[in-house]
């Protein structure tokens, strides 16, 4: 095991330069790759926007820059309703203008050497659909969508690309943040969409229902149409002005979990306004492995999804916590602040934004473009995801509860955890850093991914598969016999003399003679009922395969228990007794082992305490408990010169024995970084 740990460190320090692309490459020498902190403003102009630019002035933009020292600013130019917030000659302008706000933003940003981007709604354009009904997607009930354009329509060539060129020519923008994209696409039954399906599959039997056997294939055809649409406008704009930086919101993230193959200049997404911490935990771990510059955006305000009571702005400390998840994975960060319907900003928010900017800048030297190195990898199955989600790309309510539950469970137990995409694994992304890979309850697996995971175990890795479905998929390698059919029931998981009530599907098994049982669960929340193996561990080549015989991810997301957390932690520790980093003392700290751009090892410690997941009762909060003391054990090939806790430059006492650093961090407020020199 010690040799594996040394190899992981060697690979990341000497073979992969921090900040260098692992898979995709930005095709364009995009200036956005040099940015770390920025602000996003939009207001989605509508019929009520009759005095656009009234409150926009050079002084206003200068105040933003002076308060926050941003690397870039993004502002509104066209929202989902389809109204342009500048006086366009090509699209639909807002009803009235007092002045041209984009010219003011452009002039002031250039004067201050701040990059300038605009927010543009892509697939979603209500005015385009209203004026050109033939451009709309056709729903399964044969009605037209109100604002979703068809990927097969002339919209992209007749309106979108000409309008982007118009903006380039008038305002010399550095790039575009294209919104309303993968998550905004809709199932399309237009004649062109039907013809594309027939041409590509040979079937004339159109799947009008999700129950139709060809429904998945129908959606796959339209997913490819979205990729073609993206490539088309990316190529067109890059040909028109080569250094223009363009991103499609949420492409190549959890919503589009694929290897970066299109000429996207950077990746970006806006977190959910509610429970942003847990959303960022997932996307930061995906985006940091895509080999291209990326950022995540916090909503600087929030609201309930029913919008009862309207919007409220988040305090600085809440935004700092959200930023910390992003920064700890090497990403850039931006905050979204609303404009009023005339394009002005709410200047009272600037002190909050200034605090957040300062917080980020203080940590920039140790986090910007750093490279995480994880011990545990949670596998995100691209093929299974596309089969089970509700929309073309967006998952739909609750569809990822099981996956997020596992991620939250692993992080709460102090495991240094990353997320790996199936698509990247099949494209030969290196996984030698991982001592353990976990395949959760996806319900299915592609033959290629199954073979890859078994080969990973064969060569010495530890593979954990979760749930009855995966027990069936991997049965040949587990050496077990099933004693019953999977059944949704109350499972009494026992660990450390505590019994947890796990409501999920489970299956009873009889392990083979050479198979090790790990833990027990009862047939009910009652220790007088029959006991079953909670998990088994089977040798597989040089490695091991463990299987947990109950679905546990969704249960943890909705009903988190210390028993389930400690059980999974113990199973991983049993398989991987010498990870690169071990932490004890708290369950509120996310730990990320990484290397800075100059090769220094840095341990990122993010305090995730607070009511961020209680979205029914808490919209904003500015107080959560400091966490600590933390007891760390860190693998190191040689004794370090010193340990410094940044950004305070605080020296941390340590001991070094048997290739291990041991130290104690007194407490973590929001986000500190332990730098090993």
Tell me the pLDDT tens digit for each residue of 237-249: 999 999 999 999 9
Checking if the pLDDT of 5 tops 60, the result is no
In whole angstroms, what is the distance from residue 415 CA to residue 400 CA?
A: 20
Least confident of 176-190, 304-318, 541-555, 646-660: 304-318
Helix crossing, 276-287 with 316-327: angle to 10°? 20
**In this structure, what are the phi and psi dihedrals at residue 505, rounded to the nearest 5 degrees?**
-70, 140
Q: Is the pLDDT of residue 441 over 80?
A: yes
Q: Where are the beta strands (DSSP E) in 160-256?
A: 175-179, 245-248
Mean per-residue pLDDT, 149-170: 98
Residue 316 has pLDDT above 90, yes or no: yes
Encoding tokens for residue 432? Answer: 């030698």
C-beta separation of 427 from 420 below 8 A: no
The model's confidence at residue 25, banded by pLDDT at 50, 70 and 90, is very low
Give the whole-angstrom CA distance, residue 90 versus residue 160: 9
Phi, psi torsion values for 142, nearest 5 degrees:
70, 15
- At 19 the pLDDT is 38
Q: pTM higher than 0.85 for the full model?
A: yes
Q: What are the φ/ψ torsions at residue 287 (nearest 5 degrees)?
A: -65, -30
Q: What is the pLDDT of residue 321?
A: 97
Q: Give the pLDDT confidence score for residue 308 in this predicted structure.
A: 65
Check whether 12 has a pLDDT greater than 50.
Answer: no
* HSE-up of residue 326 (Cα within 13 Å, Cβ side): 29
The Cα 528–Cα 499 span in angstroms is 12
The answer to whether the peptide bond before residue 288 is cis (omega within 30 degrees of 0) is no
- Rounded to whole angstroms, what are the CA distances from 8 to 39, 171, 238, 430, 540? 36, 47, 38, 10, 22
List the beta strands (DSSP E) in 507-614. Answer: 509-511, 516-522, 531-540, 543-548, 581-584, 589-595, 601-607
Sign of dihedral through CA atoms 383, 389, 395, 400?
Answer: negative
H helical segments located in 153-214: 155, 161-171, 191-201
For residues 428-451, give the mean pLDDT. Answer: 94
pLDDT at 429: 82
Contact at 8 Å (CB) between 154 and 192?
A: no
**Helix H or strand E segment including 630:** strand 630-635
Note the pLDDT of residue 606. 98
The confidence band for 368, taking pLDDT boundaries of 50, 70 and 90, is: very high
Between residues 538 and 7, which one has the greater pLDDT? Answer: 538
pLDDT of amino acid 307: 62
Across 4-8, 205-209, 617-621, least confident range = 4-8
| CB-based contact 323:606 (threshold 8 Å) | no
Task: Output the six-digit token pair for 292.
Answer: 């291209």
Q: Which pLDDT score, from 0 to 100, does residue 573 have?
A: 97
Q: Is 83 helix (H, G, I), strand (E, B) or coil?
A: strand
Structure confidence at residue 240 (pLDDT): 98
Q: What is the model's pLDDT at position 164?
A: 98
Round the average pLDDT of the chain to a whole number and report it: 93
What is the model's pLDDT at position 615?
A: 66
Q: What mean pLDDT is predicted for residues 381-399? A: 95
Backbone angles phi, psi at 228, to 5 degrees: -65, -40
Upstream peptide bond of 629 is cis (omega within 30 degrees of 0): yes
SS3 396: coil
**What is the Cα–Cα distance from 171 to 116, expressed in whole angstroms?**
9
Looking only at the bridges linking them, the beta strands covering 294-299 and 301-302 are unpaired
The arithmetic mean of pLDDT across residues 342-349, rounded, is 95
Residue found by looking up tokens 């294939």 in the block? 217
Phi, psi angles (nearest 5°) of residue 252 = 65, 35
Q: How confident is the model at residue 303 (pLDDT cuts 50, 70, 90)?
A: confident
What pLDDT score was predicted for residue 431? 85
CA neighbours closer than 13 Å in the CB half-sphere of residue 75: 30
Q: Which two tokens stand for residue 248?
A: 């499609």
């Amino acid at each position: 095991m010690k040799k594996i740990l040394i190899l992981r460190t060697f690979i990341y320090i000497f073979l992969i330069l921090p900040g260098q692309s692992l898979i995709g490459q930005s095709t364009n020498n995009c200036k956005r790759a040099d940015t770390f902190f920025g602000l996003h403003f939009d207001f989605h102009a509508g019929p009520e926007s009759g005095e656009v630019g009234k409150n926009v002035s050079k002084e206003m933009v200068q105040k933003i820059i002076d308060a926050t020292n941003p690397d870039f600013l993004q502002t509104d130019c066209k929202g989902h309703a389809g109204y342009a917030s500048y006086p366009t000659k090509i699209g639909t302008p807002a009803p009235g203008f007092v002045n041209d706000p984009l010219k003011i933003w452009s002039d002031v940003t250039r004067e201050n050497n701040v990059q300038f981007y605009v927010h543009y709604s892509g697939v979603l354009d209500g005015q385009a659909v209203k004026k050109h009904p033939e451009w709309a997607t056709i729903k399964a009930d044969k009605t037209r969508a109100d604002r979703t354009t068809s990927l097969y329509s002339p919209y992209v060539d007749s309106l979108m690309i000409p309008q982007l060129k118009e903006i380039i020519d008038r305002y010399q923008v550095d790039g575009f943040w294209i919104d309303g994209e993968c998550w905004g696409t809709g199932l399309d039954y237009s004649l062109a969409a039907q013809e594309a399906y027939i041409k590509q599959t040979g079937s004339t039997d159109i799947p009008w229902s999700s129950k139709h056997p060809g429904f998945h294939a129908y959606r796959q055809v339209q997913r490819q149409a979205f990729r073609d649409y993206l490539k088309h406008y990316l190529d067109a704009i890059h040909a028109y002005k080569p250094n223009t930086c363009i991103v499609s919101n949420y492409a190549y993230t959890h919503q589009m979990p694929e290897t970066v193959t299109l000429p996207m200049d950077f990746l970006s997404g806006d977190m959910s306004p509610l429970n942003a911490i847990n959303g960022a935990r997932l996307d930061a771990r995906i985006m940091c492995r895509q080999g291209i510059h990326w950022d995540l955006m916090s909503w600087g305000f929030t609201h309930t999804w029913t919008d009862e009571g309207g919007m409220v702005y988040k305090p600085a400390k809440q935004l700092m916590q959200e930023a910390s998840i992003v920064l700890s994975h090497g990403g850039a960060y931006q905050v979204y602040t609303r404009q009023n319907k005339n394009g002005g900003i709410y200047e009272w928010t600037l002190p909050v934004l200034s605090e957040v900017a300062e917080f980020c800048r203080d940590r920039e030297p140790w986090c910007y473009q750093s490279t995480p190195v994880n011990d545990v990898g949670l596998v995100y199955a691209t093929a299974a995801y596309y089969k089970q989600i509700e929309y073309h790309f967006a998952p739909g309510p609750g569809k990822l509860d099981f996956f997020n539950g596992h991620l939250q469970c692993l992080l709460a137990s102090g495991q240094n955890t990353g997320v790996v995409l199936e698509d990247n694994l099949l494209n030969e992304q290196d996984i030698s850093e991982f001592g353990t890979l976990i395949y959760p309850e996806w319900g299915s697996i592609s033959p290629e991914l199954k073979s890859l995971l078994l080969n990973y175990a064969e060569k010495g890795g530890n593979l954990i598969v979760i749930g009855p479905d995966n027990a069936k998929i991997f049965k040949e390698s587990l050496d077990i016999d099933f004693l019953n059919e999977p059944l949704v029931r109350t499972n009494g998981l026992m660990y450390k003399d505590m019994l947890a009530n796990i409501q999920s599907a489970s299956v009873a098994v009889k392990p083979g003679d050479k198979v090790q049982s790990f833990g027990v669960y009862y047939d009910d929340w009652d220790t007088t009922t029959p006991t079953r193996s909670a998990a088994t561990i089977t040798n597989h080549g040089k490695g091991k395969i463990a299987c947990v015989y109950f679905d546990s991810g969704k249960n943890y997301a909705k009903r988190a228990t210390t028993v389930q957390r400690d059980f999974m932690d113990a199973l991983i520790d049993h398989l991987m007794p010498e990870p690169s980093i071990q932490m004890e003392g708290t369950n509120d700290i996310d730990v990320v082992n990484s290397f800075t751009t100059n090769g220094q090892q840095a341990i990122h410690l993010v305090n995730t305490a607070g009511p961020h997941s209680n979205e029914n009762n808490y919209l904003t909060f500015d107080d959560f408990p400091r966490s600590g003391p933390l007891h760390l054990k860190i693998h190191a090939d040689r004794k370090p010169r010193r340990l410094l806790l940044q950004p305070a430059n605080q020296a941390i006492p340590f001991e070094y024995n048997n290739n291990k650093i041991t130290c104690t961090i007194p407490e973590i407020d929001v986000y500190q970084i332990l730098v090993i020199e």
